[in-house]
Structure 1
Amino acid sequence: MTGGQQHDSLMARARLEGLPSGEMVLADKAYDATEIRTFVRLRGGWANIPTRRNQRDPICLSPYLYRHRNHVERFLNRMKHCRRIATRYEKHATNFLAFVKLAAIRLWLRVNASTA
């Protein structure tokens, strides 16, 4: 966990260290960096990240696969409806993760609950 004021792209390489080889990385334009793409390529993976406007050479992007990132973003938005998660009340990462799991279970039950 990083501080809320720290940009996520600064920690991207550290987060990708645990990436299994041959995996695909879906990210938004904020993660469009040569270092990230090179790191993923060296691990045998593929970075499906759209290029920023200031890039001269466009990089291949699969719009079909990029849609899946939108599903994840919408899920995270729903998770942030829980105030305890959105404001990070918990000081310890284990407690925060426990509340994230509880919120995910709550969302899953809401979507998959029987209407009968």
Structure 2
Amino acid sequence: MGNPTGFFLTPGQNCDLDGADILLEDLETDTLLGDKGYDADERVIEKLERQGKTVVIPPKKNRKKQREYDKYLYQARHLIENFFARLKQYRGISTRYDKRKINFLGGIYLAAIVIWLN
């Protein structure tokens, strides 16, 4: 748990929700842990619930109708954050030296393989 199942790059000015639809199509797990940013658009949550997946996304504080979520299961989200912290230890990724998308994505895949093997 905490290791990536896939990567998709979006332009820097786009929000994460734009790439979420592509990644969620082939999601092989039964549970999705996400941060409050994914609560902004119901389409992600509804799509996963239609597929029978457990969605663990805390609601935003300014949401009119608060949703329930599994707080105990959400505690495991730190494993995902730890992966990104390990990924940022690779200087070329954290500073994005590569100008081309394919080169940058290749660097991410290479670093992820090294992290998985350790």
- Calculate the TM-score normalised by the size of structure 2: 0.74
**Residues 55-111 of structure 1: CA deviation (Å, up to 9, x unaligned):** 132222112211221111122022112121123333243x434433443426864xx
The structure having more radius of gyration, on CA atoms, is: 1
Q: Which residue of 2 aligns with 1:80?
A: 88
Q: Which residue of 1 aligns with 2:51?
A: 43
SS in 1 for 2:55: strand
1:47-62 map, 5 Å? 47-62=55-70
Q: Which residue of 2 aligns with 1:31?
A: 38
SS in 1 for 2:21: helix
Contact 2:87/2:111, CA 8 A, preserved across alignment:
yes
C-alpha distance in structure 2 between counterparts of 1:107 and 1:18, whole Å: 20
Relative contact order (C-alpha < 8 Å, sep 6+): which is higher?
2
Q: Quickly say closer, same or farther: Cα 1:106–1:30, change in 2 above 3 A.
A: closer
Count of residues paired in the alignment: 107
Q: Which runs of 5+ in 1 are unaligned?
A: 110-116
Contact 2:10/2:18, CA 8 A, preserved across alignment:
no
C-alpha distance in structure 2 between counterparts of 1:58 and 1:106, whole Å: 37
RMSD of aligned C-alpha atoms? 2.3
Cα shift at 1:13 = 1.7
Q: Quickly say closer, same or farther: Cα 1:30–1:106, change in 2 above 3 A.
A: closer
Question: Given residue 82 of structure 1, which amino acid in structure 2 is its aligned partner?
Answer: Y
C-alpha distance in structure 2 between counterparts of 1:82 and 1:107, whole Å: 14
C-alpha distance in structure 1 between counterparts of 2:96 and 2:30, whole Å: 30
Question: Given residue 12 of structure 2, which amino acid in structure 1 is its aligned partner?
Answer: G
